[in-house]
Structure 1
Amino acid sequence: MMRALSILLLSAFIFNLSAAEELSSPLPHAANNFNLSYIQNEASCSYSVVITTSCSSSKYTRDQISIAFGDAYGNQIYAPRLDDPSSGAFERCSSDTFDIYGPCAYQICYVYLYRSGPDGWKPESVKIYGDNSRAVTFTYNTFIPSDVWYGFNLCNDASSSYQRYGRRWFMVMIMGLLVFVLLYAY
């Protein structure tokens, strides 16, 4: 009986830790203090950016679309015009891949999109692959307002997310040890 109760408690604890992490995904926002002046002109690293347009977006857009992304150390990559109406980019239910060159960045922790034009556009997600960082996906699933940088800045959370992961791992280990002691003490 005590063994079953211990296993049930450990399972509930682990489930709660994993569920809490999933619920805390941030929403995109307007970047009031975003500044493009940090852009370096060197192009020593390549990035592959996959932008998926939502199926609830307009059929196509003629809007001008730009992107800026970077790391917590001030390395910023900027592509002023991703759109090309003749290429069929940003059509509803499609994914477009862009090869962008810029300064070498560490883990990408922010991305902003800029849209200018009358059509409107709703990206589903932006996934960025870099030479020096693991792939990261930012989920938008909302229409981008016109004439404002709009997206995510998780750089302040980058170090704290690793700390949360470390604390979570430590708590799971303690709970596992406690269950082990309970199981074999009886």
Structure 2
Amino acid sequence: MMKTVCFIVLFALISTAKSSIKPPLPNPNIKINDTNHKNEGACSFTVRIVTSCSSVPYTRDQISLSFGDAYGNQVYAPRIDDPSTMTFERCSADTFEIYGPCTYEICYVYLYRSGYDGWLPERVEVYGSDTRAVSFEYNDWLPGEVWDGYNYCSSGYVVGVDRDRSLMK
């Protein structure tokens, strides 16, 4: 009887833990601001993207990345893909050195995919010299033609993109 109760409690805890992990969400309103980089290049970030073993063998899709803090400091990296080097190959990790404005704690990350191959990112990790490392779990197929990711910023600052995907000036 005691083993049964323990099993039920353990099962309930595992189910609750899994259900509390939120999936990435599409954000058609994210604004990519490539002109508001007052400290452009002043800070260096290392971004490590792990591709799931359940993904396609490799993708030729165009992949872009945006991340930032709750105060409007945004780092934007267009076209981090490189089909000639098999970037984002199944069961692999790709590391990028990205320069942009200095930020406070990173609280959002979005990926953008354009193409027909598809891609299943597992995780995006961001390391900055002046911020703590953060990790965002994807484990979901990245939809095409929309920014998809996480926004855990607690301030009123909202990131968005205009509907026709042109960069906001």
User: Which category of TM-score, normalised to the shorter sequence, fits these structures?
Assistant: 0.7 to 0.9
* Aligned residue in 2 for 1:141: 139
Amino acid at match of 2:43: C
- How many residues were matched structurally? 141
| Alignment match, 2:28 | 32
Range moving further from structure 2, 39-48 or 53-62: 39-48
What's the TM-score once normalised by structure 2's chain length?
0.77
Larger Rg: 1
> Percent of aligned pairs with the same residue?
57
After TM superposition, give the deviation of residue 156 of structure 1 in Å.
2.1
Structure number with higher helix proportion: 1
Listed as ranges, the gaps of 5+ residues in structure 1 are 1-15, 158-186
* Larger RCO (alpha carbons 8 Å, 6+ apart): 2
Do the aligned residues in 2 keep the contact of 1:51 with 1:97 (CA within 8 Å)?
Answer: yes
Query: Match of 1:99, as an amino acid?
Result: E
Going from structure 1 to structure 2, the CA distance change for 1:81 and 1:57 (only over 3 Å counts) comes to: same
Read off the aligned partner of 1:32 and give its amino acid letter. Answer: P
1:108 counterpart letter in structure 2: I
Deviation at 1:32, TM superposition (A): 2.5
- Corresponding residue SS for 1:134: strand
After superposition, residues 99-138 of structure 1 pair within 5 angstroms as 99-138=97-136
Q: Is the 2:23–2:140 Cα contact (8 Å) retained in structure 1?
A: no
Cα offsets for 1:16-37 (capped at 9, x unmatched): 8xx9777533210011320012
CA deviations 1:90-149 (Å, max 9, x no partner) are: 000000000000000010000000000010000000000012211100000011111100
